Structure 1
Amino acid sequence: MSDVAARFEALAKEWEGHCAAHRESSNPYVFLNHPSFESIVSLGRPAVPLIVERYREGSVFWGAALRRITGLTTFGDGVVGNLDATRRSWLKWWDENKAGFTGR
């Protein structure tokens, strides 16, 4: 496991725990207001494949992290709106653009 992957796994577990603990919140931005989210975003482009892999499982606001890292705003902010449609759009985007991130 690469250093980025190991760091991502630890941060993702921490952030997912934060999101689970606040799942009843009516303010979706409470999920993004956490140091582990900021640390995930700071991993940058190397984290994108790891985020997408997690995003395939649904839950959590991974679209917000993808938006911050890629700068792509086509699919909204990843926090409000039709989150399932947002997830599907990001996954379709990934299928069409992953070569730019993975070299495949």
Structure 2
Amino acid sequence: MSDVAARFDRLAQEWEAHCAAHREASNPFVFLNHPSFESLVALGRPAVPFVIERYREGSLFWGAVLRRITGIDTYGDGVVGKLDATRRGWLDWWTQHEAEFTRGEA
């Protein structure tokens, strides 16, 4: 497992635990108010394939991470709005851009 993959997995578990602990929050931005969210974003472009993998599996606010890493706001902020549509939009985006993020990997 690469260093980025290992760091991503650890941070994703921390963030998922934070989100689970606050699942009843009325303000969705509480999910982004955690050091693990900022650390996931700080992993940058190398983390995008891992984010997409998690996004396919669950409904956590991975769109917010993708927006911050890529700067793409086409799909909203990833926290409010039609979250299923946001997720589908990002997964469709990935289909078109995957090669940009995985080029050179064995």
Report the TM-score, using the length of structure 2 for normalisation: 0.96
- CA distance in 1 between counterparts of 2:70 and 2:90 reads 11
Q: Post-superposition shift, 1:58?
A: 2.3
Are the aligned partners of 1:58 and 1:87 in contact in 2 as well (CA < 8 Å)?
no
Matched length: 104
SS of residue matched to 1:56 = helix
Structure 1 segments (4+ residues) deviating >3 Å? none
RMSD after superposition = 0.8
Give the match for residue 24 of structure 1.
24
> Percent of pairs identical after alignment?
75
Distance 1:33 1:60 in 2: 14
Counterpart residue number, 1:77: 77
DSSP 3-state at the match of 2:57: coil
Equivalence for 2:41? 41
C-alpha displacement of 1:103: 1.1
Structure 1: how far apart are the matches of 2:17 and 2:11?
10
What is the SS of the residue equivalent to 2:81?
coil
- Paired with 2:95 and 2:26, the residues of 1 have a C-alpha distance of 32
For 2:69 and 2:24, the matched residues in 1 are separated by 27
User: Any gaps of 5 or more consecutive residues in structure 2?
Assistant: none
TM-score (norm 1): 0.98
Superposition pairs of residues 1-104 of structure 1, within 5 angstroms: 1-103=1-103
**Which residue identity lines up with residue 24 of structure 1 in the other structure?**
E
**Alignment-mate amino acid for residue 82 of structure 1:** K
